[in-house]
Amino acid sequence: MKKTFLILAAMLCCCFALKAQDFYCDGLKYSVLYDYLPAVKLVRCPPDFQAHDFVIPSTINHEGRTYIVRQIGEGAFENCGKLTGSLTIPNSVASIGNSAFAGCGALDGSLTIGNSVFRIGDYAFSHCGFGGTLIIGEFVGQIDYKAFEHTHFTQIISRCPSPPRLRSDAFPENFFLNEPVVPCGSGSDYKKASGWSQFRIIREDFVQFELTVTSANPDFGSASIDQTATCQNNGQVTVSATPAGNCMFTCWTENGEVVSTDNPYTFTLESDCNLVANFWEKKYIYEPIESLPSHISSNDIYVLGYQDGNNYYLHSSGTAAGEMKLSLYPANPVEYRFADFESSNLVFASCNINNNNKSLSITTQGVSLSPFNPFGGSTDPFALSITDGNISSAGSSGYTVCHNGNIITAHTGPSEGNLRFFKRIPLHYITLSVSPEETGTATATSGGETVQSAVEGTEITVSATPTEGYRFKNWTENGEVASTENPYTFTLTADRNLVANFYKPYDFSAICETGQTLYYRIIDAEQHWVSIVAPNSDNYLECYEGYTIPAGNISLPATVSHNEISYTVKAIGDCAFYSCSGLTGLLTIPNSVTNIGEGAFERCSGFTGSLTIPNSVTNIGETAFWYCSGFNGSLTIGSSVTN
């Protein structure tokens, strides 16, 4: 009896221990598969779980331990109606259980099944609404009974070099209207395989692996795929990077590791590949000098380099590692291998100059020196002695510059014959835009040449050209007016981000009942309100020479029609009739107007008789009727005027 009790107690302990293996992570329930391996089965999603374009996680963290998601259990997501869009099964998953996603009708996009999945269970995706592409992973070996019943994929791609075994009715009848795409050289096997032979056409293509390219910084440049992998080219692809402005391409990386500095880069696709194009924004130029000046400002930075023909390089000739050149002047994109030393706080050297004894010490700045130099020589910074600005001797003969723990280049010490000093000069960028969009263009020039950047101290001229119907207003920077001049010339001392602002003086014109052509700007499109404006500016400080209106009485309309829409005249804009001295006789302002702008009728000295401001007007701007000396009758101001 005691023995039986102990056995039962042990069994209960096992049950509780097993129960303790279940846990929740991000709302999903998981069960640990093995004691000796950190792997889990995704057991169940709660009824209220929702996600769009859901990607099953490949790993999860629980109580400080990382688990690999290896299985999706039976009915794990069955009838989870709040899963929408597409679904991706990661490469970590080996099996998908029976009815795992059955009844997920809101999944109406594409389905990607990872390369490690071997078995897809009965009814696994039955009654899902998929209508996009089905991608079957590389090692899927078996697709079970009615796994894809009542799905509606429009394209099928199988990455399996050997056709997966199809159990009875694995695919619905509508599947066989598709033309599945299979790996190169496997078409004949698929055409003979049970189930697959029901497809009338099976096409071969390079579908084993997927290539994506992105830019590390889209503002610095873009990346593109120039040649895709095909059966004919045996999976050979070509990618290219296009720098923006004065930026330069540095290298291609994958998972943070440099894979190539070629551009374009051609290689054979042998696995899924996610390439990132890296760029460098040039912040300085380096000007070669014959010798150091007798007195050097603390703000001046000089670096040591060498000259090779017409090209100048940072001094960095390696030995066993080969030669690595970083072109300084003139810049040659092909010879850049890593980001410039300043751009990643990787500065080759800073110079500590003593003007009294002409000594120069070059030390590293933002760079770690390797504690072990595999190329031999000292790891200490070297020193140079200078006599009358010329190099006379060199110190330590070898050192290694490292960045993020990786050896960038090994140095064997300077040689006196071709060493030069370079003065670092800041390079600033001019970024131009227009507002509103497509209302004009803006350009920056220096010395008659169009530029996007220039060294500090350069004289820059920016010009704005409006499109037809628009006029230039001003230049703004960070929301503040920088200039009203066009062209606008300035000395470059920092990056400039200028906006050329344009405006449309009026939206349409119409002839009023007294024969004058009046110009209107829509001020409220929803309520159909307009303002009478001058045809050539909205700035009352500007003159309107050449703006003439036929002489005589003028009766301003209360409404005006344009494109079969009736607009109400609600305002008379600033300087709308400024200096229209040819207007004579009476002026009639309609009862629809609520605002008379600044200088609206200033210097209209030809008006005579009386003037009545209607009751609808609430505001009369400064100098609205200034120098209207011809009025000789009565002035009536409506009761609603408050300003």
Q: What is the pLDDT of residues 411-452, one digit of tens each?
A: 333 333 345 556 778 888 899 999 999 999 999 999 999 998
CA nearest neighbour of 346 among 354, 337, 355: 337
Mean pLDDT of 316-342: 27
At 490, the pLDDT band (50, 70, 90 cuts) reads: very high
The residues with which 503 forms a beta bridge, in sequence order, are 471
Q: What integer pLDDT is reported at residue 203 of this predicted model?
A: 93
Q: What integer pLDDT is reported at residue 96 of this predicted model?
A: 97
Q: What integer pLDDT is reported at residue 524 of this predicted model?
A: 92
At 261, the pLDDT band (50, 70, 90 cuts) reads: confident
CA nearest neighbour of 603 among 547, 531, 526: 547
What's the token pair of residue 10? 């042990």
Q: 273 or 586: whose pLDDT is higher?
A: 273
Q: What integer pLDDT is reported at residue 147 of this predicted model?
A: 95
Put residue 53 in one of left, alpha, beta given phi > 0 → left and psi -120 to 50 → alpha: left
Whether residue 381 is predicted with pLDDT greater than 90 in this model: the reply is no
Q: 173 or 459: whose pLDDT is higher?
A: 459
At 103, the pLDDT band (50, 70, 90 cuts) reads: very high
Give the integer Cα–Cα distance in Å for 341 and 346. Answer: 4
Q: What integer pLDDT is reported at residue 518 of this predicted model?
A: 87
Contact present, 87 and 51 (Cβ < 8 Å) = no
At 279, the pLDDT band (50, 70, 90 cuts) reads: confident
Q: What integer pLDDT is reported at residue 21 of this predicted model?
A: 84
Whether residue 45 is predicted with pLDDT greater than 50 in this model: the reply is yes
Mean pLDDT of 126-132: 93
AA identity, residue 523: I
Mean pLDDT of 161-189: 91
Q: 1 or 274: whose pLDDT is higher?
A: 274
At 618, the pLDDT band (50, 70, 90 cuts) reads: very high
Whether residue 8 is predicted with pLDDT greater than 90 in this model: the reply is no
User: In this predicted model, what pLDDT tens digit does every residue of 205-222 receive, in sequence order?
Assistant: 988 788 999 999 898 899
Q: What integer pLDDT is reported at residue 588 of this predicted model?
A: 86
Q: What integer pLDDT is reported at residue 638 of this predicted model?
A: 83
The residues with which 421 forms a beta bridge, in sequence order, are 289, 304
Q: What integer pLDDT is reported at residue 420 of this predicted model?
A: 56
Lowest mean pLDDT among 47-51, 379-383, 575-579, 604-608: 379-383
Contact present, 575 and 611 (Cβ < 8 Å) = no
**Which residues of 221-340 form beta strands (DSSP E)?**
221-227, 236-243, 247-254, 257-260, 265-268, 273-281, 284-289, 302-308, 311-314, 327-329
Q: What integer pLDDT is reported at residue 489 of this predicted model?
A: 97
255 vs 112, 129, 268, CA distance in Å? 22, 35, 18
CA nearest neighbour of 80 among 147, 27, 148: 27
- Our CA angle for 118, 122, 127, nearest 5°, is 115
Whether residue 179 is predicted with pLDDT greater than 50 in this model: the reply is yes
Whether residue 499 is predicted with pLDDT greater than 70 in this model: the reply is yes
Q: How confident is the prediction for the chain on average, in pLDDT?
A: 76
Give the integer Cα–Cα distance in Å for 187 and 181. Answer: 9
**Which residues of 377-513 form beta strands (DSSP E)?**
383-387, 390-394, 399-403, 406-411, 419-435, 440-446, 449-450, 453-455, 459-466, 471-477, 480-483, 488-491, 496-503, 508-511
DSSP class of 382: P
AA identity, residue 311: N
Contact present, 258 and 251 (Cβ < 8 Å) = yes
Q: What integer pLDDT is reported at residue 536 of this predicted model?
A: 63
Whether residue 335 is predicted with pLDDT greater than 60 in this model: the reply is no
At 244, the pLDDT band (50, 70, 90 cuts) reads: confident
Percentage of the chain beyond pLDDT 70 is 73
User: In this predicted model, what pLDDT tens digit does every residue of 53-69 receive, in sequence order?
Assistant: 999 999 999 999 999 99
Q: What is the pTM of this model?
A: 0.51
Mean pLDDT of 33-48: 91
Whether residue 48 is predicted with pLDDT greater than 80 in this model: the reply is yes
User: In this predicted model, what pLDDT tens digit does every residue of 390-406 receive, in sequence order?
Assistant: 322 233 333 333 233 23
